[in-house]
């Protein structure tokens, strides 16, 4: 199989974690007998510096031409003084809208070796393995009218029936692959848009009787996520709530540097780590590339339909962490962290060991 992948390294630590992940991507592709055609394009602040806009027509066309997009990170203080509609982050919203990426999958899994890295008690986070399914192209981030003046600021929160139906189906489909439990998060006690959301989700649920559905207010969901994260399987929620809850879930796992994500539509797919551009550590070779690598794993499983490649990569990450290798964001006090490139090399070595073991233990036909 041959696939086109558009790389958008972006800003800050984006290029560093992208470089590390591409090495893993190319190795997995070769091992899986997949041919990749990879092209790199500017986006965000780097695109502003080069072309005066955060998302050029050329970069967008490259994404249209690719089967998958791999995005590093966007933004930084250098561009904070720009008008709101010209900031680097507008590129991300533009990509989501242009590519129709309405489903955002954000898994939060606590690797056994990372149980002590969370700020929560080990017995609280051990066994956490949840998936946030966030609606990505509707809600308050995209609603009109919106604006501000000297006296007030305003945004509009709107959801249509098709928008809620398709994200609800995405969540129920995810649940069928997991533990068959969906928690739909809203604020139906005070927001009419949330009551509408709840009604439509329940209608869609009729097509998935094998999945258990519960409703939960977003404030309670935030509390339960910290109190007992293992109670969740799939969390279904709207754009803004999903943005907040998935970042909260990252602290359960110990670091934003551990969380991958996939943004999916009917035709296109974009993969990116949940973390930001971290300009304070950019260029120092200390960033954690594991979220970016795990995003590559999601690409292999979802776009390339090679779930075994993702499972093997997850096993390699787990084994590397179990061997005590840590970047600075997840290193225990008093220990010496390894660099971005060293983590890349450790993951690569472990991948090679796992695949060699798989090859030699395979039954002879």
Whether residue 256 has pLDDT greater than 80: no
Choose one of 220, 237, 253: the last residue of a domain: 253
What's the mean pLDDT in 220-244? Answer: 96
What's the mean pLDDT in 20-29? Answer: 97
Question: What is the phi/psi pair of residue 333, to 5°?
Answer: -55, 135
Structure confidence at residue 90 (pLDDT): 93
Structure confidence at residue 117 (pLDDT): 78
Whether residue 258 has pLDDT greater than 90: no
Residue 112 lies in a domain: no
Residues 290 and 305 in one domain: yes
Whether residue 363 has pLDDT greater than 80: no
Whether residue 155 has pLDDT greater than 70: yes
Q: Token pair for residue 268?
A: 């296109």
The alpha carbon of residue 55 and the mean position of all alpha carbons in its chain are separated, in whole angstroms, by 20
- Which among 284, 280, 288, 273 is positioned nearest to 328, based on CA atoms? 288
What's the mean pLDDT in 348-357? Answer: 94
| Number of domains present in the structure of the chain | 2
Residues 18 and 46 in one domain: yes
Structure confidence at residue 120 (pLDDT): 87
Residues 202 and 218 in one domain: yes
Residues 242 and 165 in one domain: yes
292 Cβ contact partners less than 8 Å away, ≥ 6 residues apart: 17, 18, 20, 21, 70, 72, 260, 272, 273
CATH number at residue 156: 3.40.718.10
Structure confidence at residue 362 (pLDDT): 60
Structure confidence at residue 359 (pLDDT): 83
Residues 242 and 317 in one domain: no
Q: How many helices (H) and strands (E) does the chain have?
A: 12, 12
Residues 323 and 238 in one domain: no
Residues 166 and 223 in one domain: yes
pLDDT digits (tens, 9 = 90+) for 71-110: 999 999 999 999 988 999 999 989 999 999 999 999 999 9
pLDDT digits (tens, 9 = 90+) for 278-312: 999 999 999 999 999 999 999 999 999 999 999 99
Helix orientation angle between 57-65 and 89-99, rounded to the nearest 10 degrees: 40
Query: Structural domain of residue 334, as residue ranges?
Result: 1-102+257-365
Structure confidence at residue 328 (pLDDT): 93
Residues 149 and 244 in one domain: yes
Residues 152 and 43 in one domain: no
Structure confidence at residue 87 (pLDDT): 94
Residues 223 and 276 in one domain: no
* Catalytic residue numbers, as ranges: 141, 187, 219, 243, 247
CB neighbourhood size of 231 (10 A): 13
Cα distances from 47 to residues 57, 88, 240, 268, 333, in angstroms, run 11, 8, 26, 22, 38
Structure confidence at residue 347 (pLDDT): 98
Choose one of 253, 270, 298: the last residue of a domain: 253
Q: Taking all residues of the chain, what is their mean pLDDT, rounded to a whole number?
A: 94
Residues 265 and 202 in one domain: no
Choose one of 204, 228, 253: the last residue of a domain: 253
Residue 108 lies in a domain: no
* Alpha-helix runs per DSSP H in the chain: 14-31, 45-51, 57-65, 89-99, 122-125, 161-176, 192-205, 218-227, 239-253, 290-302, 307-322, 340-361
Whether residue 334 has pLDDT greater than 80: yes
The alpha carbon of residue 355 and the mean position of all alpha carbons in its chain are separated, in whole angstroms, by 26
Confidence of residue 162 (pLDDT cuts 50, 70, 90): very high
Residue 107 lies in a domain: no
Residues 245 and 261 in one domain: no
């Amino acid at each position: 199989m041959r696939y086109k992948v558009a790389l958008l390294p972006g800003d800050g630590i984006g290029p560093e974690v992208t470089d590390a992940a591409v090495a893993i991507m190319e190795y997995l592709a070769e091992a899986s007998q997949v041919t990749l055609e990879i092209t790199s394009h500017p986006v965000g602040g780097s695109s502003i510096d080069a072309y005066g806009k955060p998302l050029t027509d050329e970069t967008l066309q490259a994404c249209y031409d690719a089967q998958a997009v791999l995005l590093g990170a966007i933004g930084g203080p250098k561009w904070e003084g720009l008008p709101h509609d010209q900031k680097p982050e507008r590129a991300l919203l533009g990509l989501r809208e242009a590519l129709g990426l309405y489903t955002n999958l954000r898994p939060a899994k606590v690797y056994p070796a990372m149980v002590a890295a969370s700020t929560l008690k080990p017995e609280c986070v051990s066994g956490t393995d949840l998936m946030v399914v966030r609606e990505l192209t509707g809600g308050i981030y995209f609603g009109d009218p919106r604006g501000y003046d000297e006296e007030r600021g305003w945004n509009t929160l709107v959801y249509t029936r098709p928008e809620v139906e398709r994200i609800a189906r995405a969540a129920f489909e995810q649940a069928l692959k997991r533990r068959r439990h969906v928690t739909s998060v809203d604020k139906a006690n005070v927001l009419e848009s949330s009551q509408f959301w709840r009604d439509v989700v329940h209608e869609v649920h009729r097509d998935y009787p094998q999945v258990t559905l519960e409703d939960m207010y977003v404030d309670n969901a935030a509390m339960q996520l910290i109190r007992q994260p293992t109670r969740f399987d799939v969390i279904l929620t709207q754009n803004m709530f999903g943005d907040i809850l998935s970042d909260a879930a990252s602290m359960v796992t110990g670091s934003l540097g551990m969380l991958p994500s996939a943004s999916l539509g009917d035709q296109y797919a974009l993969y990116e780590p949940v973390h930001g551009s971290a300009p304070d550590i950019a260029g120092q070779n200390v960033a954690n590339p594991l979220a970016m690598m795990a995003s590559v794993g999601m690409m292999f499983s979802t776009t390339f339909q090679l779930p075994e490649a993702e499972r093997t990569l997850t096993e390699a990450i787990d084994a590397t962490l179990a061997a005590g290798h840590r970047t600075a964001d997840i290193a225990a006090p008093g220990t010496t962290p390894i660099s971005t490139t060293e983590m890349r090399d450790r993951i690569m070595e472990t991948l090679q060991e796992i695949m060699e073991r798989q090859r030699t233990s395979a039954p002879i036909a």
